[in-house]
């Protein structure tokens, strides 16, 4: 019998629904070609829903989503909701609840896409960041004392567990091996200042490395990584790092690969349900105009297929994305593509239809 996958779809806010629709358009074409079935169930979660109902993410929804084979998410964010509420109540809640302990962000400059990095091209910018996704400064440990007084104290601690660090590092080694490019894994830390947390990271990294003699290892401080990502991005193959550093360096990485219209991420629990998203956010100023670039959402769908084990389907999606970026789009920015959001989805789907 043909394989079936239940996909929980969270179109979310702003331009989320527009880009998710194009991702689904492409996914359906690939499913036809590969002979598997995708069953979608949509969930109303996000800032709009919160404004309307006062509900953020109920246990019932959390349980329902958790039964899916994968979660496909557009964007969460609302200009009229105080920062922190939706981020913590939805995005981080899902990452923690489903124990999606890896945030995988491939960084690849495709042909036809401009990078702000001078004299660098597609052969120089092709790496991936494996970001720990459930611990560190994001764990929410800490608090405020003497709130609002001149003696106020705010403490926010970074939580790093041996288990959490090790499973993330292990994933990175495995991923690096599977990726099979330069076979080099770089640990990104700050061992010269954060001497407790990154001591644990470094010791664990060196221990696990012994099991992967085929992978070259390297270490760089997070500030130096920022410098080299701009100066010598070709040095990187896979970078593994903690939650906060991973958050920061992947925004920089998204810029050198062509911007937020391109960058996709996967929140992965290899033993559970994973979530796939374009990392650009809800882009309120472009909402409803049909001018946002759906490529990041389509690439998130590629990561989803890859994680589900549909590798051939995933490579079809990438083939379509590469063709359209190389030959069709004038620019990757919103309103500058020379096509509408929906036309870009059509172009990718049509290419897959004809080419495979």
Task: Name the segment binding ligand IPM (CB under 6 A); options: 13-21, 62-70, 87-95, 288-296.
Answer: 87-95
Q: Which stretch binds Mn ion (CB under 5 A): 39-47, 119-127, 224-232, 245-253?
A: 245-253
Residue 292 interaction partner, one of Mn ion, ligand IPM, none, beta carbon < 5-8 Å per kind: none
- Out of 18, 247, 306, 310, the only residue in the binding site for ligand IPM (CB under 6 A) is 247
Q: Are 44 and 316 in contact (CB under 8 A)?
A: no
CB of 170 to Mn ion, least distance (A): 24
The structure tokens 């330069």 sit at 182
CA–CA separation, 175 vs 38, rounded Å?
26
Q: How far is the CB of 118 from Mn ion (least distance, A)?
A: 25
Q: How far is the CB of 251 from ligand IPM (least distance, A)?
A: 7
Element at 136 (helix H, strand E): strand 136-145
Nearer to Mn ion, 13 or 247 (CB): 247
Contact 64, 268 (CB under 8 A): no
Task: In whole angstroms, give the CA distance from residue 109 to residue 94.
Answer: 29
Number of residues that bind Mn ion (CB under 5 A): 1
Number of C-beta neighbours around residue 166 at 10 A: 16
Task: Centre a 10 Å sphere on the Cβ of residue 15 and count the other Cβ atoms it contains.
Answer: 30
Nearest approach, Cβ of 276 to Mn ion (angstroms)? 15
Which of Mn ion, ligand IPM, none sits in contact with 283, Cβ below 5 to 8 A by type?
Answer: none
Which one, 126 or 247, has the nearer CB to Mn ion?
Answer: 247
Sequence-ordered list of residues with C-beta below 8 angstroms from that of 190, at least 6 positions apart, any chain: 198, 221, 222, 223, 245
Q: Which is nearer to Mn ion, 22 or 247 (CB)?
A: 247
Of the listed pieces 86-94, 108-116, 181-189, 207-215, which binds ligand IPM according to CB under 6 A?
A: 86-94
C-beta of residue 113 within 8 angstroms of C-beta of residue 258: yes
Q: How far apart are the C-alpha atoms of 51 and 55, rounded to whole Å?
A: 8
Q: How are strands ordered across the β-sheet holding 264-268?
A: 37-42, 4-12, 70-75, 274-278, 264-268, 102-108, 126-132, 238-241, 184-189, 216-221
Does 91 bind ligand IPM (CB under 6 A)? Our answer is yes
Among residues 132, 247, 306, 318, the one that binds Mn ion under rule CB under 5 A: 247
Phi, psi at residue 144, to the nearest 5°? -120, 135
Given Mn ion, ligand IPM, none, residue 318, with its beta carbon under 5 to 8 Å by kind, binds: none
Q: How many residues touch ligand IPM (CB under 6 A)? A: 5
Among 87, 99, 202, 328, binds ligand IPM (CB under 6 A): 87
Nearest approach in angstroms of CB 86 to ligand IPM is 8
Q: Which of residues 273-292 bind ligand IPM (CB under 6 A)?
A: 279
Helix crossing, 16-34 with 295-308: angle to 10°?
40
Q: Which residues pair with 75 in a beta bridge?
A: 12
Nearer to ligand IPM, 44 or 244 (CB): 244
Q: For residues 279, 168, 204 and 253, what is the CA-based torsion angle, rounded to 10 degrees? A: -20
CB of 350 to ligand IPM, least distance (A): 31
Positions touching Mn ion (CB under 5 A) are: 247
List residues binding ligand IPM (CB under 6 A). 87, 91-92, 247, 279
């Amino acid at each position: 019998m043909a394989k079936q996958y239940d996909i929980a779809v969270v179109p979310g806010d702003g331009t989320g629904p527009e880009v998710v629709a194009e991702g689904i358009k492409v996914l359906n074409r690939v499913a036809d070609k590969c002979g598997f079935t995708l069953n979608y169930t949509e969930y109303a979660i996000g800032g709009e829903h919160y404004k309307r109902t006062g509900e953020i993410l109920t246990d019932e929804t959390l349980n329902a989503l958790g039964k899916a084979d994968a979660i496909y998410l557009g964007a969460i964010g609302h200009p009229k909701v105080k920062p922190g509420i939706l981020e913590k109540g939805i995005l981080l809640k899902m990452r923690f609840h489903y124990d999606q302990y890896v945030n995988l962000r491939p960084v690849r400059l495709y042909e036809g896409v401009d990078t702000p990095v001078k004299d660098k091209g597609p052969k120089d910018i092709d790496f991936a960041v494996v970001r720990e996704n459930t611990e560190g400064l994001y764990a929410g440990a800490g608090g405020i004392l003497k709130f609002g007084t001149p003696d106020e104290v705010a403490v926010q601690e970074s939580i790093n567990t041996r288990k959490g660090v090790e499973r993330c590092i292990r994933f990175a080694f495995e991923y690096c091996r599977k990726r099979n490019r330069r076979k080099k894994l770089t640990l990104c830390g700050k061992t010269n200042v954060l001497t407790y947390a990154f001591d644990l990271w470094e010791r664990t990294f060196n221990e696990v490395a012994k099991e992967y003699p085929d992978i070259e290892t390297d270490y760089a401080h997070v500030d130096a990584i920022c410098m080299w990502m701009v100066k010598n991005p070709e040095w990187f193959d896979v970078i593994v790092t903690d939650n906060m550093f991973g958050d920061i360096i992947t925004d920089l990485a998204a810029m050198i690969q062509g911007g937020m219209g391109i960058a996709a991420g996967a929140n992965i629990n290899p033993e559970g349900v994973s979530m796939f998203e374009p990392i650009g956010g809800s882009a309120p100023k472009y909402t409803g105009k049909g001018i946002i670039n759906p490529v990041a959402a389509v690439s998130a769908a590629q990561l989803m297929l890859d994680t589900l084990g549909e590798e051939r389907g995933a490579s079809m999606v990438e083939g379509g994305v590469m063709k359209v970026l190389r030959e069709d789009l004038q620019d990757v920015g919103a309103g500058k593509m020379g096509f509408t959001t929906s036309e870009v989805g059509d172009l990718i789907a049509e290419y897959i239809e004809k080419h495979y």
